[in-house]
A and B are shown apart, each in its own frame.
Chain A
């Protein structure tokens, strides 16, 4: 199944990747080739098969409602590119980001 350049641009936006025009062109070709190989799956008759929910036959794994020690704020912020007053700094939302 071929993929178009506009598909690639759309997917790049979903994945939040700034691609150059050259990258878009190259990826269109590469992804198209890969998808071409993967397409063989379409020819399998799997209509009556359930998708795998989990490789093991395990269900109901949960934990008790008990407090565990977390990170100190120092550790939480240790790798942050930019912080202010203990919070992570981000540039303005307007013009960018999703919201839900």
Chain B
């Protein structure tokens, strides 16, 4: 059933349907509404024996999730931005221990300068943490990806991060079908931990590993992550059959089949991009969009296949690697052939809107061959001029 609902509320209700047993909560904008929603649901007794813990930091939130998951509970938390960075040590630890924790990241810039608005700097900075990363395009996507995230995490015994754009999705009311409890229960079986702290069968979890086996542990972690490349599409098909909606496909090509220019992006900006592409198609331009849902593991083969016909690839970066350039660009480079020109467009940092007008200008420049290989969309030159003078 469709309801007009805030993105955060929809995610909170969906996470509740996934029957988490331990939720660690710490407030940070723009994530806060999600844990507020879960707090109310737990307090009202909707989630049975679920433990909702108001922790003292994001580092503790992830640490509580680690303990809970190792002790056999389905564990969930949510964060954003500085909060994600504050839990980084525990983030790597959860992945290294192979604990199937699910976390929502309400994507937000990281400071300084402090900025609460949306971009992908937070999650992108954790691309090598060992977590699987899924990026939602809209709120229906966010809802559906959470259901799949628990299933994927527990099947592979590895943590999954569901990324949704802060404010743009978390604080937006739109039509969303929140699934029924019966449908979620049918799709998501109860958590069966692969490793369990159990006095009846004591195990040591988190031993010290030296040079003799550390590389092997990392190799196996990579292997487990790569399994998501085949497991997620299968789960997506099963989801589509059960829920009647596609979600969780690692890449989403849109009008790319014969497109000379393809824009690659992640997250909610895909909506604006599709509108822009529709306009340009109507004007006879040969453009398309490739959305990436699964960023870790990186679906290189699927990206390569989707970009095969493109002469120009414009990568819209919602994060920026200072001193290097595009983050997605670097991952995507091996997918491109010698005849394909790629452009990196850094766009929408710290919540700056990415408009159709600006996208049209970028695509026109790309088509004319005048686009810089590294472009900052709508860079306000008057603001930087004083600092750049004499430099």
Same assembly: no
Binding site for B on A (CB under 8 A): none
